[in-house]
C-alpha cells in the first residue's frame, strides 16, 4: 500500500519532560486514522513535528516516498491545528488567496471550497467578524484548497457548540467518503469511533496500540441477555466453554465470548436447552470501553 | 523571490495601520524636502529660501536629502517589528509553516520586503533630489551631478541594515512594543560602552570602536551635513573640516551586520518550537 507518512522512533523532549517517546507508525493512503489519547499525551506535539513547527529531539519521519522536503510535502497536505489561525484584518477570500500563494496554486478553487463549508455568502467579511464555528469551517476550507492527499485535523470540534460539532463532523464524513486520507487527533472517543478505521493510541507520549479499530483488543464481543429463568441461564453459560466472564446486573446478564459465535446459533443452542430469551443483543466493546481496558492493562 | 515578496506585500498592504505607516514613512520625507525647497514668505517680513543658501547645489544636495530622509526611517521600523509581532500574536506564522512555507522562506519574505521598500525609498529620494537640484543648483555639469551619488548607496544600505536589526529584534522578543524598546536599550548600551572605553582609555580609541557598533555604524554612513554647510560658508575656518564622505569600509561594516541579523533571525526561528 502507498504510504503517506512514516514515523520512526520519534522522540521529543521539552527540558525534563518527554512529550513523545520512541514513537513509530505509518499512515497509508485511503484510510481514516485517529490519534487517541488523553490531554497531554503528545498528540499535538507529534502532529507539530511532522508539520514542521516543532523540532524533533531524535528519530525521523518522512512524507510520501521520502524524496520531498517537509515544506514541499506540506503543500500537498491540508492541516488544522487547534485554533484556526488567520489574519483578522483580511476577508475570508483574501486569507484563502494568501494560502494559495503559499501553496503555489491558483485561486480557482477558493469559491468551490468555501461552498463546501457553507461560507460562500460570507466570503467578503473580515475574519475577525466570524464566530468560532465559522472560523473552524474556514480553516477546513483552507486545508482543502489544494485537494490534499491527506487531511490532518487536531481537535477540530474543540470549543464548538453541538450544532457546530455536527456540522464539522458532517463535513469530515463527506471528505472521508471521497477517499481522502484523514488523520484525526482527538480525545473525544465517540468522535473517532464514528469516522476512523484505524487508530493510534498514545498515553504519556508512548504508543499503546496502532492498527484497526476493531482489532484493538483481542475480543469477540459479548451478549446482553434477559430471560425469565435467570438462574438456569447462568448455569448453562457457566458450563459452556464458549463463554468467559459473566456479569449480572439487575436482570441483565452480560456474557463475554471466548471464541466467535453467531447470535442465531447461540439462540438455537439456548432454545434446545429449554431457555427462552426475552432480550438478546450481540455487541462489541465501544471504543471507550476498549480504550479504558487498553490503558488500564498497560498500567498494571 | 517574487512569490515571497508578493506574499508579504499582501499581508502588509491589506492592514490599515501598516498601510498608513508605510505611506507616512515614504511621503512625509518627500514632502518635507519638497516644502523646504520652495520659497516661503514669513508673514511678509522676509522670504525664507533655503535654495539661496546653496544647500541644494550638487553635490551637497545628495548628502543633505539622504541625511534628512533617513531620520524618517523610524516609521517603517514600526512596520517591520509589527509585521513580525503580528505573525506571532495571530499565530499565523505557525499556520504559514503548516501551509507549506519553509522557515527560510518566511525570513526571506520579510527580508525581501525590507529590501523592496528601502529600494523604493532610495529611488524616491534620488528622484526628488535630482529634480530640486536641477532646479536650484548653480552647477549643472553631468560630472558634478553624479559626484557623491554614493550617498544614495549609503542611504539604501543604512535602511536595509536598520530594518534588518528591527527584524532581528522582532524575531527575538516576538512583540512589537518590546522590540522597539530593545532598539532604545541598544542605543543607550552603545553609549554606555562608549563612555566606559573613554573612561578607561581615550576618546579617539572609543570612537573608533564605537564605529563598529550596529547603530553607530549605520549612523556613521551618512554624517551630519550641518558642519559641511558651515564649511562652505566659512572656507577659511580649518577647525570645521571633518570627514563626511561615504567610505567603503563603513558600508562593509553595515552589510556585515545586516547579514548577521538576517542569519540570526533565521537561526532563532529554526531553533524555536512554535
pLDDT of residue B173: 92
pLDDT of residue B51: 64
A133 shares its domain with A171: yes
Residues A64-82 have a mean pLDDT of: 87
Over residues A76-129, the pLDDT tens digits come to 899 988 788 999 999 999 999 999 999 988 898 899 989 888 889 998 999 999
pLDDT of residue B230: 77
**A99 touches B at CB < 8 Å:** yes
**CA of B48, closest CA in chain A: separation in Å?**
46
3-state secondary structure chain A: CCEEEEEEEEEEEECCEEEEEEEEEEEECCCEEEEECCCCCCHHHHHHHHCCCCCCCEEEEEECCCCCCHHHHHHHEEEECCCCCCCCCCEHHHHHHHHHHHHCCCHHHHHHHHHHCCCHHHCCCEHHHCCHHHHHHHHHHHHHCCCCCEEEEECCCCCCCHHHHHHHHHHHHHHHHCCCEEEEEECCHHHHHHHCCEEEEEECCEEEEEEEHHHCCCCCCEEEEEECCHHHHHHHHHCCCCEEEEEEECCEEEEEECCCCCHHHHHHHHHHCCCCEEEEEEECCCHHHHHHHHHHHHHC
pLDDT of residue A257: 83
Residues A12-31 have a mean pLDDT of: 89
A197 shares its domain with A235: no
Residue A139 lies in a domain: yes
Residue A234 lies in a domain: yes
Domain count, chain A: 2
For residue A81, list chain B residues with Cβ-Cβ distance below 8 A.
94-95, 98
A231 shares its domain with A188: no
Taking only residues 104 to 123 of chain B, the set having a beta carbon closer than 8 angstroms to any beta carbon of chain A reads 105
Residues A250-279 have a mean pLDDT of: 85
From CA A238, how far away is CA A254, in angstroms rounded? 12
Contact A209, A294 (CB under 8 A): yes
pLDDT of residue B40: 65
A85 shares its domain with A132: yes
pLDDT of residue B47: 65
Say whether B99 and A74 touch across the interface (CB within 8 A): yes
Q: Which of A85, A82, A75 shows the shortest CA–CA distance to A145?
A: A75
A151 shares its domain with A87: yes
Residue A152 lies in a domain: yes
For residue A72, list chain B residues with Cβ-Cβ distance below 8 A.
100
Domain containing A195 equals 3-215
A184 shares its domain with A242: no
pLDDT of residue A176: 83
Query: What is the ipTM metric for this complex?
Result: 0.84
A79 shares its domain with A226: no
Contact A132, A157 (CB under 8 A): no
Residue A204 lies in a domain: yes
pLDDT of residue A235: 86
CATH number assigned to the domain comprising residue A188? 3.40.50.300
A201 shares its domain with A238: no
pLDDT of residue A110: 92
Say whether B102 and A85 touch across the interface (CB within 8 A): no
Q: Which of B228, B242, B238 shows the shortest CA–CA distance to B64?
A: B228
Over residues A214-244, the pLDDT tens digits come to 777 667 788 888 888 888 888 888 888 888 8
Residues 6 or more apart whose CB falls under 8 angstroms from that of A52 comprise A70, A71, A74, B97, B98, B102, B103
Contact A207, A201 (CB under 8 A): yes
Over residues A44-60, the pLDDT tens digits come to 899 999 998 999 999 99
Size of interface A-B (CB pairs under 8 A): 80
From CA B195, how far away is CA B163, in angstroms rounded? 26
Residues A144-173 have a mean pLDDT of: 85
A133 shares its domain with A173: yes
Residue ending a domain, choose from A215, A233, A262: A215
Give the pLDDT of chain B (274 residues) as one tens digit per residue: 888 998 999 998 898 888 898 888 888 887 877 777 776 666 666 666 666 666 777 788 888 888 888 888 888 899 999 999 999 999 999 999 999 899 999 999 999 999 999 999 999 888 888 888 888 777 777 788 888 888 899 999 999 999 999 999 999 999 888 999 999 999 999 999 988 888 888 888 888 888 889 888 888 888 888 788 777 777 777 777 777 788 888 899 999 999 999 999 999 999 998 8
Residue environment code for B83-101, b if the CB has 16+ CB neighbours within 10 A, otherwise e: bbbbbbebbbbbbbbbbbb
pLDDT of residue B42: 63
Residue ending a domain, choose from A199, A215, A231: A215
Residue A295 lies in a domain: no
Name the average pLDDT for chain A: 86
A267 shares its domain with A198: no
Say whether A74 and B98 touch across the interface (CB within 8 A): yes
A98 shares its domain with A245: no
A209 shares its domain with A97: yes
Strands of A58-63's sheet in order across: A17-28, A3-14, A58-63
Distances (CA, A) of A251 to A248, A257, A267, A278, B208: 7, 19, 18, 11, 95
Say whether B95 and A86 touch across the interface (CB within 8 A): yes
pLDDT of residue B269: 93
pLDDT grade, residue A9 (50/70/90)? very high
pLDDT of residue A37: 81
Residue A126 lies in a domain: yes
From CA A70, how far away is CA A77, in angstroms rounded? 10
From CA A202, how far away is CA B76, in angstroms rounded? 48
Residue A256 lies in a domain: yes
CATH number assigned to the domain comprising residue A239? 3.30.70
Residue ending a domain, choose from A160, A184, A215: A215
Is the predicted pLDDT of residue A177 greater than 90, yes or no?
Answer: no
User: Taking CA atoms, what residue in A is nearest to B273?
Assistant: A54
For residue A48, list chain B residues with Cβ-Cβ distance below 8 A.
273-274
The Cβ of residue A221 has, within 10 Å, a number of other Cβ atoms equal to: 14
pLDDT grade, residue A285 (50/70/90)? confident
Is the predicted pLDDT of residue A300 greater than 60, yes or no?
Answer: no
pLDDT of residue A218: 63
Residue A297 lies in a domain: no
The C-alpha angle A192, A198, A201, rounded to 5 degrees, equals 70
pLDDT of residue A299: 57
**A48 touches B at CB < 8 Å:** yes
CA A222 to chain centre: 24
pLDDT of residue B153: 92
Percent of chain A with pLDDT over 90: 17
Taking only residues 15 to 44 of chain B, the set having a beta carbon closer than 8 angstroms to any beta carbon of chain A reads 15-16
Exposed/middle/buried for B28, CB within 10 Å: 0-12, 13-18, 19+?
middle
pLDDT of residue B155: 93
Residues 6 or more apart whose CB falls under 8 angstroms from that of A120 comprise A111, A114
Amino acid at each position: 500500500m502507498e504510504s503517506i507518512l512514516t514515523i520512526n522512533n520519534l522522540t521529543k523532549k521539552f527540558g525534563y519532560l518527554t512529550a513523545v517517546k520512541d514513537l513509530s507508525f505509518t499512515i497509508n493512503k485511503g484510510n481514516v486514522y485517529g490519534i487517541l489519547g488523553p490531554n497531554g499525551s503528545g498528540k499535538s506535539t507529534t502532529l507539530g513535528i511532522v508539520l514542521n513547527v516543532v523540532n524533533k529531539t531524535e528519530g525521523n519521519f518522512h512524507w510520501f516516498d521520502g524524496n520531498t522536503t517537509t515544506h514541499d510535502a506540506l503543500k500537498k497536505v491540508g492541516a488544522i491545528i487547534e485554533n484556526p489561525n488567520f489574519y483578522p484584518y483580511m476577508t475570508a477570500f483574501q486569507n484563502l488567496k494568501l494560502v494559495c500563494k503559499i501553496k503555489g496554486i491558483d485561486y480557482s478553487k477558493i469559491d468551490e471550497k468555501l461552498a463546501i463549508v457553507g461560507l460562500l455568502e460570507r466570503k467578503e467579511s473580515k475574519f475577525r467578524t466570524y464566530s468560532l464555528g465559522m472560523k473552524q469551517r474556514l480553516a477546513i476550507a483552507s486545508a482543502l484548497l489544494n485537494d490534499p492527499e491527506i487531511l490532518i485535523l487536531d481537535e477540530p470540534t474543540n470549543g464548538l457548540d453541538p450544532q457546530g460539532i455536527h456540522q464539522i463532523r458532517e463535513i469530515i464524513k463527506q471528505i472521508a467518503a471521497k477517499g481522502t486520507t484523514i488523520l484525526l487527533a482527538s480525545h473525544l472517543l465517540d468522535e473517532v469511533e464514528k469516522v476512523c478505521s484505524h487508530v493510534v493510541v498514545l498515553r504519556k507520549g508512548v504508543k499503546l496500540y496502532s492498527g484497526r479499530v476493531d482489532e484493538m483488543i483481542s475480543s469477540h464481543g459479548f451478549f446482553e441477555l434477559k430471560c425469565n429463568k435467570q438462574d438456569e441461564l447462568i448455569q448453562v453459560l457457566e458450563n459452556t466453554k464458549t463463554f468467559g466472564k459473566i456479569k449480572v446486573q439487575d436482570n441483565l446478564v452480560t456474557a463475554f465470548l471466548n471464541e466467535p459465535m453467531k447470535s442465531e446459533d447461540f439462540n438455537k443452542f439456548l432454545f434446545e436447552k429449554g431457555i427462552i430469551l426475552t432480550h438478546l443483543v450481540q455487541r462489541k466493546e465501544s471504543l471507550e470501553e476498549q480504550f479504558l481496558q487498553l490503558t488500564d492493562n498497560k498500567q498494571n | 523571490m517574487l512569490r515571497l515578496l508578493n506574499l508579504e506585500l499582501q499581508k502588509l498592504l491589506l492592514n490599515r495601520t501598516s498601510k498608513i505607516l508605510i505611506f507616512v514613512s515614504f511621503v512625509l520625507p518627500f514632502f518635507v524636502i519638497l516644502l523646504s525647497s520652495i520659497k516661503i514668505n514669513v508673514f511678509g517680513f522676509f522670504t525664507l529660501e533655503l535654495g539661496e543658501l546653496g544647500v541644494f547645489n550638487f553635490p551637497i544636495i545628495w548628502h543633505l536629502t539622504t541625511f534628512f530622509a533617513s531620520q524618517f526611517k523610524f516609521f517603517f521600523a514600526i512596520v517591520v517589528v509589527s509585521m513580525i509581532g503580528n505573525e506571532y500574536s495571530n499565530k499565523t506564522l505557525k499556520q504559514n509553516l503548516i501551509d507549506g512555507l519553509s522557515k527560510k522562506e518566511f525570513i526571506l519574505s520579510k527580508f525581501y520586503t525590507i529590501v523592496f521598500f528601502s529600494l523604493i525609498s532610495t529611488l524616491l529620494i534620488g528622484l526628488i533630489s535630482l529634480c530640486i537640484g536641477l532646479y536650484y543648483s548653480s552647477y549643472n555639469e553631468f560630472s558634478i551631478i553624479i559626484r557623491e551619488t554614493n550617498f544614495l548607496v549609503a542611504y539604501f544600505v543604512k535602511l536595509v541594515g536598520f530594518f534588518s536589526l528591527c527584524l532581528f529584534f522582532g524575531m527575538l522578543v516576538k512583540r512589537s512594543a518590546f522590540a522597539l524598546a530593545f532598539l532604545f536599550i541598544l542605543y543607550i548600551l552603545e553609549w554606555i560602552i562608549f563612555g566606559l572605553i573613554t573612561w578607561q582609555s581615550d576618546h579617539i580609541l572609543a570612537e573608533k570602536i564605537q564605529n563598529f557598533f550596529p547603530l553607530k555604524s549605520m549612523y556613521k554612513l551618512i554624517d551630519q551635513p550641518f558642519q559641511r554647510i558651515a564649511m562652505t560658508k566659512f572656507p577659511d575656518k580649518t577647525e570645521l573640516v571633518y570627514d563626511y564622505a561615504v567610505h567603503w569600509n563603513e558600508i562593509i561594516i553595515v552589510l556585515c551586520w545586516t547579514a548577521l541579523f538576517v542569519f540570526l533571525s533565521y537561526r532563532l526561528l529554526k531553533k524555536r518550537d512554535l
